[in-house]
Structure 1
């Protein structure tokens, strides 16, 4: 999250006339992230997040907001979009689509332990199953076709070794995606970006950790559930300095997930292929954001080298099948 589009006090006051949220008591930008303009909004009726969508169109946006409403109605802790007076879940602000959602309790846990990974794995599986009867469909917009389209834009910035790596991995993933086993894997709505900073934990007591919820669904889309798990494991269970998976955290997350939804044999067999797919997806996007940045009031681009290390590690050190036993 970042601030690309500023909002004045008078603009906010006028725009909030479309809602029944009370009077504003606090309004400030959120610095982290790189895709949309986000603000903490506190009113006399509660705490919210206001998002101005910099890339998603008014045609695309209903999928994401409707998905959050659907998950919230199925007891998955996610931000719930606030309806306007006319019943719509978003409107136009400074010429761009914008929405207000409830603010979840808690704070990110950036140094997770196995106990945190258990909570995340369990809830991610619940999210997948809750989405089975969600009627709308939106493909993951940052999947193979996006990688193939955008890699040429970053190639001039890469070394010869990096160009060879990204080309080889694109070919590997294209073959994997074309396989019958890949096509048969279970799928549905996925978060597709469930990093440590997109999950909140509350600590009601010194000895208790409670999952506050998942947020930032604006990369969500229909994809293989295993891809969502792989993206999650590549962040929650990794040593940040080396890209190596931590065995205790990985085992905790996968066991918790599979107590709710066990992997199929094809998912077990292709676990490492999907870990590589998750690493490639974020290496490509971080390369693109780093070398072709947009202007923003508050912008902190991520290091693309982090996911290059993870991809190399997944290729060189394939873990055993994730059978959860």
Structure 2
């Protein structure tokens, strides 16, 4: 076979990559060997996404190894080291307070994370306990499960009222959830100027409506950030164990509730649900939450507005990561569907 290298090229030079896929065997020898977890049997890739997730098995237990993204250009960076350390502090706080969550494991040197010098840059690696049980996802939600889900989110809010971390973390505010997403959405709608103008008008209208709220009266504190009906497992004892706090941060608690409402509402376009089914699940969730924690009138008024805020963040998540997932993830069909969601929700709640 003829060489594909041209004259003057250096075969030893690494070609630039966006995100590498780390060898499971190398992770066993170079990363997992730093943990005192017994005899390693297997390490296999579960998902190649924003973060790469591996299932680690020993003779007696299973664990989850998460490899974070390397630093990326502004507007696209997923998590800094400080962001990650905040998340780990939060998980350990929840565990100390009795919450059922997947927690990070310390390495032999006492640290909670390691780093890997991947071709695209330094990537942070964390080993977590494995959340055993039946995985939940929005399609599996029932009114009974939704109520349990709501009670558990309320518990997380309650026991994190006193949470503090020495590490800085992004805030779940308008800048993070709306302004930054708009920056990554705009370049991908240059061929759809009318849609971009509509989107910008919706964003401005949403800001105006949020500004009318008594913001200072809204409950604020630590949020899971992605409790959309999944990211939890149901144990035999009918208890939920939450994991994936990668989007957690300080913000409006009403936003955390809106994420679930958003997840159920997506069931109409994703699963063929009707309005009655969505509202039944949302009502059960809200009743479950209120069994454990009170909500003020302004918090309840904010929830529908924050559903839209969540969808702007969702659009920004995809448009900031097209280079990972491929252009087909954000083609015209994607924008057609997602803009319909925003327009219909705005018609119902903003206009």
State whether TM-score is above 0.5: yes
Instruction: After TM superposition, give the deviation of residue 21 of structure 1 in Å.
Output: 0.6
Closer/same/farther in 2, CA of residues 140 and 11 from structure 1, 3 Å limit: closer
1:145 aligns with 2:175: yes
Question: Are the equivalent residues in 2 in contact too, given 1:195–1:232 (CA < 8 A)?
Answer: yes
Alignment of 1:200-279 (within 5 A): 200-202=233-235, 204=236, 210-236=238-264, 238-241=266-269, 245=275, 246-279=278-311
CA contact (8 A) 1:4 1:36 kept: no
User: 1:240-281 deviations in whole A, cap 9, x for unaligned?
Assistant: 326865121111001111111121121123332122222222
Aligned residues: 307
The within-5 A match list for 1:170-185 is 170-179=203-212, 181-185=214-218
Aligned to 1:117: 146
Matches within 5 A, 1:76-155: 76-94=99-117, 95-106=122-133, 107-109=135-137, 110-136=139-165, 138-140=168-170, 143-146=173-176, 147-155=178-186
Matched residue, 1:47: 62
* Residue 45 of structure 1, CA deviation: 4.3
1:15 paired with 2:48, answer no
Aligned pairs (5 A) from 1:153-164 = 153-158=184-189, 159-164=192-197
Task: Indicate conservation of the 8 Å contact 1:191/1:221, yes or no.
Answer: yes
- C-alpha deviations, 1:31-90, integer Å up to 9, x for none? 26x311111111234111001111422232110011011112222221111011122111
User: In 2, Cα distance between the equivalents of 1:99 and 1:19?
Assistant: 11
- Do 1:22 and 1:44's aligned partners in 2 also have CA atoms closer than 8 Å? yes
CA distance in 1, matches of 2:320, 2:103: 31
What's the offset of the Cα at 1:4? 4.5
Single out whichever of 144-153 and 57-66 deviates more from structure 2.
144-153
TM-score between both structures, scaled by the size of structure 1: 0.84
Deviates more, 1:3-12 or 1:158-167: 3-12
Deviation digits for residues 282-323 of structure 1 (CA, Å, limit 9, x no counterpart): 13322333xx32269xx995856554343223212239xxxx
Q: TM-score, normalised by structure 2?
A: 0.78
Distance 2:44 2:57 in 1: 9
Q: Which runs of 5+ in 1 are unaligned?
A: 320-325
Q: Deviations over 1:199-223 (max 9, x none)?
A: 2224x4xxxx824411111111101
The 3 A distance-change label for structure 1 pair 14 and 280 is closer
Please state whether the residue corresponding to 1:222 is helix, strand or coil. Answer: strand
Higher alpha-carbon Rg: 2
CA RMSD of aligned residues (A): 2.8
Counterparts in 2 of 1:17 and 1:157: CA distance versus 1, 3 Å: closer
